[in-house]
Amino acid sequence: ELKVEQNPLFLSMQEGKNYTIYCNYSTTSDRLYWYRQDPGKSLESLFVLLSNGAVKQEGRLMASLDTKARLSTLHITAAVHDLSATYFCAVDDSGGSNYKLTFGKGTLLTVNP
């Protein structure tokens, strides 16, 4: 059974600081997705990572995937309040058929002035 672990689960940081959220998973997969969820809202896709060494960047967020280490990171650069949200990683557990995602528990990020 695939397990996906995110850490930290709660992250409070100051504006302007850098930090990294980690997503570890337990079985072989080279397909990983990052989502953002604002309170009471839907999930918004941030990044799709499809191979070892994949790196994607959008604004102050950068995601990477190391399939050998079974690890993805979401790096936040110079945080701003608007980045406050819950961030989920999800791993494709369907052997490449892209039908079954296993989600981490999420990281609640709070950016303080």
Distance CA 70, CA 65 (A): 8
The neighbouring-strand residues paired with 58 are: 61
Neighbours of 71 (CB within 10 A): 14
- Applying the rule CB under 8 A, the residues between 45 and 84 that interact with other proteins are 45, 48, 50
Residue from the set 88, 91, 109, 111 that interacts with other proteins by CB under 8 A:
88
Residue from the set 3, 17, 41, 81 that interacts with other proteins by CB under 8 A:
41
Helices (H) and strands (E) in the chain, counts: 0, 11
Give the footprint of other proteins on this chain (CB under 8 A): 4, 9, 31, 33, 35, 40-45, 48, 50, 88, 90, 92, 96-101, 103-106
